[in-house]
Amino acid sequence: MCCCSGKNVVRGLAFAALVGLTVSAYAAQVVDTGTKAPSALSFGTERGEKVAFHSWTDVGGVMTAPPPNDECTGAITINCGSTTTVNNTEATDNFGSDPGFSCFWDGSGSQGNGTMWYRFQATDARARIITCSTASPVDDTISAIYSGSCGSLVEIGCGEDGCGVYHHDYYANVTSGTFYIIQMSTNDGYSARGNITMELQCLPALGPVCTG
């Protein structure tokens, strides 16, 4: 079943190719290292790294498929006032299609790791996303709210920090009755994925600010 030696493989593509098949263990070596020294890797290399396979030993078992909302087009509908457990352990890194985050910590607008997609219908004038209750191993979350549809999304809110260590709490102005899309993600590598606790609130518009 080994046929990838010498190919440039992104984790998401390699994962998709193995879904439902007998899993075999292999040793891999980074061949496009940048500043990193070549090293032995297990399945789950970091995003965009090129790998070359050196050995292949059948160990049995079956890979699980990515979650149904791994892509924007599969976004799961949630309701205002809900708390959702987002498990992105097996989510793929869709760097060719996922939009970047305007609030990415270094200002680069980079994409996240293990993105998951949700949609909701606003019931008031503001939407609030909170991940403050998220526990280890997830130690850094990032998300954004979009208007529009998959392929033509417009970011209207983005959050990376704001509570805990690196979790977030932010607002976006929305229109009651309109559907919006959420991209939820982690900021660190594969080992920091897991259960993200996402709270979605819909709130009234802020009243006028009294001065004097």
CA distance 199 to 133: 9
- Shared domain for 133 and 100, answered yes or no, is yes
**Could you read off the pLDDT of 164-182 as tens digits, one per residue?**
768 999 999 999 999 999 9
**Could you read off the pLDDT of 86-130 as tens digits, one per residue?**
999 999 887 778 999 999 988 888 888 899 999 999 999 999 999
Within a domain: 135 = yes
Strand locations in the chain (E): 22-30, 40-41, 51-62, 76-77, 83-87, 113-121, 126-130, 141-147, 154-159, 162-163, 167-173, 179-186, 195-203
- Shared domain for 140 and 169, answered yes or no, is yes
- Shared domain for 76 and 181, answered yes or no, is yes
- Shared domain for 31 and 131, answered yes or no, is no
Within a domain: 6 = no
What residue numbers bound the domain in which 158 lies? 72-203
CA distance 68 to 117: 9
Q: How far apart are the first and last CA of the chain?
A: 75
Q: Report pLDDT for 27.
A: 37
- Shared domain for 31 and 108, answered yes or no, is no
Within a domain: 1 = no
- Shared domain for 54 and 113, answered yes or no, is no
- Shared domain for 23 and 106, answered yes or no, is no
Q: Average pLDDT of the chain?
A: 76
Residue 113: helix, strand or coil by DSSP? strand
Rounded-to-10 torsion of CA 127, 144, 133, 196: 130
109 vs 84, 131, 142, CA distance in Å?
Answer: 26, 20, 12
Within a domain: 145 = yes
Within a domain: 5 = no
- Shared domain for 38 and 140, answered yes or no, is no
Q: Report pLDDT for 189.
A: 64
Question: Which CATH number does the domain housing residue 196 bear?
Answer: 2.60.120.380
CA distance 160 to 126: 18
Reply yes or no on whether the pLDDT at 16 is more than 60.
Answer: no
Mean per-residue pLDDT, 18-42: 39
**Could you read off the pLDDT of 59-87 as tens digits, one per residue?**
455 567 899 999 999 999 999 999 999 99
- Shared domain for 57 and 86, answered yes or no, is no
Reply yes or no on whether the pLDDT at 1 is more than 60.
Answer: no
Closest CA to 158 of 146, 144, 177, 138: 144
Tokens linked to 124: 């008031």
Q: Report pLDDT for 35.
A: 37
- Shared domain for 24 and 91, answered yes or no, is no
Within a domain: 210 = no
- Shared domain for 134 and 81, answered yes or no, is yes
User: In this predicted model, which residue has the larger pLDDT, 187 or 127?
Assistant: 127
Tell me which H or E stretch contains 18.
helix 11-18
User: In this predicted model, which residue has the larger pLDDT, 72 or 20?
Assistant: 72
User: In this predicted model, which residue has the larger pLDDT, 5 or 185?
Assistant: 185
138 vs 92, 153, 189, CA distance in Å?
Answer: 16, 26, 10
Reply yes or no on whether the pLDDT at 24 is more than 70.
Answer: no
- Shared domain for 85 and 179, answered yes or no, is yes
Within a domain: 3 = no
Q: Report pLDDT for 109.
A: 85
Reply yes or no on whether the pLDDT at 25 is more than 70.
Answer: no
Q: Report pLDDT for 175.
A: 98
Split into its structural domains, the chain has a count of 2
